[in-house]
Structure 1
Amino acid sequence: MDGPRIEVAGLTKRYGDVLAVDAVSFTAEPGRVTGFLGPNGAGKTTTLRSALGLIAPTAGAITFSGRRFSQLPRPAAVVGAHLEPAFHPGRTGRDHLRTLAPLAGVPDSRCDEVLAMVGLADAAGRRVGGYSLGMRQRLGLATALLGDPAALVLDEPANGLDPAGITWMRAFVRSFAARGGTVLLSSHLLAEVEQTVDDVVVIARGRIRHASPLADLHALASPETVLRSPDEAGLRRLVSRWPDALMEDSVTAVIPGTTAAEVGAAAHAAQLEVHGLTERGESLERVFLRMTEEAA
Structure 2
Amino acid sequence: MAAGPTLSVEGLAKSFGSVRAVDGLTFTIRSGAVTGFLGPNGAGKTTTLRMLLGLTRPTAGRALVGDRPYVEHERPARVVGAALEASSFHPGRTGLGHLEVFAPQVGVARQRCRELIEFVGLGAAADRRVGGYSMGMRQRLALATALLGDPPAIVLDEPANGLDPEGIVWLRRLLRRFADEGRTVLVSSHVLAEVQHTVDDVVIIAQGRLVHASSLEDLAHLAAPETYVESPDLGGVSRLCEERGWPARPADRGLLVGTATAAEVGAAAYRAGIELHQLASRGGDLEDVFLRLTGGTR
Does TM-score exceed 0.5, indicating one fold?
yes
Match of 2:35 in 1: 34
1:147 positional shift: 1.0
Superposed counterparts of 1:1-296, under 5 Å = 1=1, 2-85=3-86, 86-225=88-227, 242-243=249-250, 255=256, 257=258, 259=260, 260=262, 261-262=264-265, 265=269, 269-270=274-275, 272=277, 277=279, 282-293=284-295
Do the aligned partners of residues 15 and 108 (structure 1) sit closer, same or farther apart at CA in structure 2, a change above 3 Å counting? same
Residue 170 of structure 2 aligns with an amino acid whose one-letter code is: W
SS in 1 for 2:295: helix
Answer whether contact 1:24 1:207 (CA < 8 A) is retained. yes
> How many pairs are equivalent?
279
Q: Provide the C-alpha distance between the structure 1 equivalents of 2:140 and 2:212, rounded to a whole number of angstroms.
A: 30
Q: Provide the C-alpha distance between the structure 2 equivalents of 1:100 and 1:207, rounded to a whole number of angstroms.
A: 34
1:262 positional shift: 3.6
Question: What 5-or-longer segments of structure 2 have no aligned partner?
Answer: 238-247
Q: Provide the C-alpha distance between the structure 2 equivalents of 1:121 and 1:145, rounded to a whole number of angstroms.
A: 16
SS in 2 for 1:220: coil
Residue 7 of structure 1 aligns with an amino acid whose one-letter code is: S
Identity of aligned residues (%): 58
Answer whether contact 1:224 1:254 (CA < 8 A) is retained. no
Q: Which runs of 4+ in 1 moved over 3 A?
A: 234-239, 241-246, 253-256, 261-264, 266-271, 277-281
Q: Provide the C-alpha distance between the structure 2 equivalents of 1:3 and 1:245, rounded to a whole number of angstroms.
A: 50
Answer whether contact 1:222 1:256 (CA < 8 A) is retained. no
Answer whether contact 2:228 2:255 (CA < 8 A) is retained. yes
SS in 2 for 1:119: coil
Residue 21 of structure 1 aligns with an amino acid whose one-letter code is: V
Q: Deviations over 1:260-279 (max 9, x none)?
A: 3446639974552x6xx565
Question: What 5-or-longer segments of structure 1 have no aligned partner?
Answer: 228-233, 247-252
SS in 2 for 1:140: helix
Answer whether contact 1:170 1:196 (CA < 8 A) is retained. yes
Question: What's the Cα RMSD here?
Answer: 2.8
Q: Provide the C-alpha distance between the structure 2 equivalents of 1:79 and 1:99, rounded to a whole number of angstroms.
A: 18
Residue 198 of structure 2 aligns with an amino acid whose one-letter code is: T
Q: Provide the C-alpha distance between the structure 1 equivalents of 2:68 and 2:48, rounded to a whole number of angstroms.
A: 16
Q: Provide the C-alpha distance between the structure 1 equivalents of 2:50 and 2:169, rounded to a whole number of angstroms.
A: 26
SS in 1 for 2:58: coil
TM-score normalised to the size of structure 1? 0.86
Q: Provide the C-alpha distance between the structure 1 equivalents of 2:231 and 2:273, rounded to a whole number of angstroms.
A: 12
